[in-house]
Amino acid sequence: MRRVVRLSLAEETWVGRFRAMGSPCEVVCESPRRADAEEISHLVATEAWRIEDKFSRYIDDNVVDRINSSMGKAQTLDGETADLLDFAETLYDLSDKRFDITSGVLREVWVFDGGNRIPEQRSIEAAMTRVGWQHVSWQRPVLELRPGMEIDLGGIGKEYAVDRAVALIRSSGGGPSLVNFGGDLAATAPPQRRRHWKVGIEGDAPESAERLIDLKQGALATSGDARRFLEKDGIRYSHILDPLTGWPIEDAPRSVTVAADSCTQAGMISTLAMLQGGEAERFLDAEDVRWWCRRKP
């Protein structure tokens, strides 16, 4: 797919739009000059595409592909990749082993396309033999997976990309901007031409907003199953899988949105809340953040 950034003017605000990491992305700029808005938009898009090219599991011969194709051979990793693995290990510990970047192989048996096909238990059990961070040898910067195991950084990559884009805008001297990658977003600074940035929490219908939020600064991240789920016999199965069982998390909310200082922090808390299932709200109450949790109507 050809990578392009499309710039438009809406209510005296420039909006640069592009696609990355399987999501619609945009950067909203308050800069009065088109040239400045173009520079910021291309800066953000280039960073998003760099992170996608480096860490997407769908791209051949990047660092994730080399790790997943290593067949048990130890891999020495660069600092950025090592930082993400350290963060993933922290989430693994904080979630009581339920955030596990080796659990992506379960997608081979679970297909969350809105249909009703539930995999056979024997297929789940076969995939589970390749799941478990406890089976990984990680001594920074050297990673060693068992043959057949894989990692998937999709659970943390988009929020990381948002924070990287925000940092680049700030370091470049760009004016107040809002970076939004598929609903995970952060502001570089409070807007100057309005009282706040107005952002929406996605509902079930495509391109619909369940709730509008006034954001002055900081970040928002949402975890949920609006697009990826199964439904059979009146039961909705979320795409968020429990790596301890191989099955979707029981009684998970439809979505959790968290506001925090950074998108990475917001994404961490929203994901950990989803992994709590029926205890999500209790977990969120214990965190020093604003949150919105949506369950079945």
pLDDT digits (tens, 9 = 90+) for 95-142: 999 999 999 999 999 998 888 899 999 999 999 999 999 999 999 999
Distance CA 243, CA 258 (A): 23
Q: How many CA atoms lie within 13 A of 45 on its CB side?
A: 22
Query: Residue 212 — very low, low, confident or very high, per pLDDT cuts 50/70/90?
Result: confident
Residue 204 has pLDDT above 60, yes or no: no
Q: Residues near 235 by Cβ (< 8 Å), separated by ≥ 6?
A: none
Residue 210 has pLDDT above 70, yes or no: no
Angle, helices 79-94/263-275, rounded to nearest 10 degrees: 40
Domain boundaries, the chain: 1-57+153-175, 63-152
**What's the residue count for the chain?**
297
Q: Please list the alpha-helical segments (H only) found in the chain.
A: 34-55, 63-68, 79-94, 121-128, 154-172, 263-275, 280-285
Distance CA 236, CA 297 (A): 12
Q: Residues near 10 by Cβ (< 8 Å), separated by ≥ 6?
A: none
The three-class DSSP label of residue 21 is: coil
Mean pLDDT calculated for residue range 273-280:
95
CA dihedral 37, 43, 48, 49 (to 10 degrees): 110
Summarize pLDDT for 43-52 with one digit per residue, the tens.
999 999 999 9
Q: What is the mean pLDDT of the chain?
A: 92
The per-residue b/e assignment along 160-199, b for 16 or more CB within 10 angstroms, e otherwise, is bbbbbbbebbeeeebbbbbbbbbbbbbbbbebeeeeebeb
Residue 220 has pLDDT above 90, yes or no: yes
pLDDT at 103: 97
Q: Which residue has the higher pLDDT, 91 or 212?
A: 91
Distance CA 19, CA 21 (A): 7
Summarize pLDDT for 132-175 with one digit per residue, the tens.
999 999 999 999 999 999 999 999 999 999 999 999 999 999 88
pLDDT at 98: 95
Pairing outcome for strands 209-215 and 75-76: unpaired
Class for the domain spanning 63-152: mainly alpha
Mean pLDDT calculated for residue range 80-100:
97
Identify which of 150, 142, 108, 140 has the alpha carbon closest to the alpha carbon of residue 125. 108
Residues of the chain with pLDDT > 70, as a percent, come to: 96
Q: Which residue has the higher pLDDT, 127 or 239?
A: 127
